[in-house]
Amino acid sequence: MPIAKFLKDELIKLNADCESKEEVFQLMYNEAFSRGYVSDSFLTKIQEREETFPTGLSLDHYGIAIPHTDPECVFHQFIGVITLQKPVIFQSMDDKSKAIDVKVILMLGLNEPHSQLAVLQQIMQIVQQEENYDKLVAAGSAKEVYTLFEELDNI
């Protein structure tokens, strides 16, 4: 399943200035809600899910987060890509007590359970390669992000 098709220009936020994961969630919610991608409960649901099931992932020398929530909150599927000027703290998905500095967030707005698992598996393959992480952090435009994901879809 090509994951580049889930990318939306307006949901690619590069070099964002956020002080916390809550600001990251608010940024993505504002964009997604204003365009009709998500319901008004999306923000609350993603925050609640993050508290119960953290999404921070520590990989070698870097951290990423892959937040997502209930499919009923999503009207139109998307993957939001956020890179940050400076890291924010997420809790580790495998140990809530562990804090992870995160500069790349891939927010999944998916409403089909089978596609969520497939997309998550593909994203994990992508982000586990530090070279791909570095390209995301260095991306200067939505087009660069699309190109990266399109190239990776074709591997």
Contact predicate 137/23, CB 8 Å = no
What is the count of structural domains for the chain? 1
Split at pLDDT 50, 70, 90, the class of 118 is confident
> Which pair of structure tokens corresponds to residue 143?
């087009």
Residue 115 pLDDT more than 80? no
- The pTM of this model reads 0.94
In tens, the pLDDT along 46-90 reads 999 999 999 999 998 899 999 998 899 999 999 999 999 999 999
- List the CATH number of the domain containing 119: 3.40.930.10
**Helices 113-127 and 130-138, interaxial angle, to 10°?**
100
- Bridge-based pairing state of the strands 78-92 and 62-65: unpaired
pLDDT of residue 155: 62
C-alpha distances (whole Å) from 108 to each of 46, 48, 61, 97, 98 are 10, 15, 23, 23, 22
Domain that holds residue 106: 3-153
Q: pLDDT averaged over the chain?
A: 93
Average pLDDT of the residues in 103-110: 95
In tens, the pLDDT along 9-57 reads 999 999 999 999 999 999 999 999 999 999 999 999 999 999 999 999 9
